[in-house]
Amino acid sequence: MATVAPPPHTTPASNATHQDGRLQLKPLEGVEAAKRAAAYASVDNHIKPEHKIIGIGSGSTVPYVVERIVQQGPKVNLHRWFIPTGFQSKELIVKAGLPLGDVDSFPVIDVTIDGADEVDSSLNCIKGGGACQLREKVLAESASTFIVIADYRKNSTILGEKWSQGVPIEVAQFAYASVMRRLEQMGGKPALRMGGGAKAGPCVTDNSNFVIDSPFPESLMKKPAELSDRIKLMTGVVEVGLFCNMAKAAYFGNQDGTITSKYAGGEVKEGEQFDVGRSPMVA
């Protein structure tokens, strides 16, 4: 992906209007309102004016991250570069009029904010439900600060407690059968992910690989870093959708509109109020 700058006339757009110093936002309910609150809080707390290289992840919560960044205003955003994890986030960046970059040109990232399929009490994550785990992990590891956002349904004690689809594993196409056999031998129940109704045959990632989804026994899921290492050593495995000991914080939007935030080290804040109509500190 080439590194490009926006046209000189481009001004990042937002769906918010300003009235009496507040943002007039489209009303949301339920899970979507929870996602927006978590995303806005993560941006306000972790993307500051001095942050110039920002990783944008994938998932249904991430559009609200881009929305909040746009609300910070063109004065700061036109001096930044935004690095996508895949096609979805690239489209979000381009459509918002934000400067698009690539990790090839910016291997050191200030902050990456990404969604997750599930997060445990130690901030270990399952990611890859959208088949972007390889690029997501590169941006997470390249970032000085990696932040996870999700709604309350993804907040777990042990991985696999709520995400029943299993661990996403990206594999070379020719090696999938061999990898599946070895996953079964270690107690997994692997299944090759299919492309869905719009595509006959297996799901193919942006990197032209297949994805295997494999649930594992709780005894293995309690030690996700060890499990990830075991899978990664299998010949043919490109990347594993277990993100262990990487996140600095995780934000969960709750059904009642409050936010639960968890931090590396064990601190948990529950029931935090966040005013989504408040303009961001940067303008």
Q: Which residues contact 224 (CB under 8 A, 6 or more apart)?
A: 120, 124, 159, 242, 244
The C-alpha atoms of residue 35 and residue 25 are separated, in whole angstroms, by 14
Cα dist from 189 to 16, 169, 268, 270, whole Å: 46, 12, 33, 35
Cα dist from 207 to 19, 66, 103, 105, whole Å: 45, 24, 15, 18
Catalytic residue among 67, 118, 136, 170: 136
Q: Is 136 a catalytic residue?
A: yes
Structure tokens at 252: 């969960």
The C-alpha atoms of residue 101 and residue 146 are separated, in whole angstroms, by 18
Structure tokens at 52: 């110039």
Q: How far apart are the first and last CA of the chain?
A: 30
Structure tokens at 38: 């978590």
The C-alpha atoms of residue 131 and residue 39 are separated, in whole angstroms, by 21
Catalytic residue positions, numbered: 136
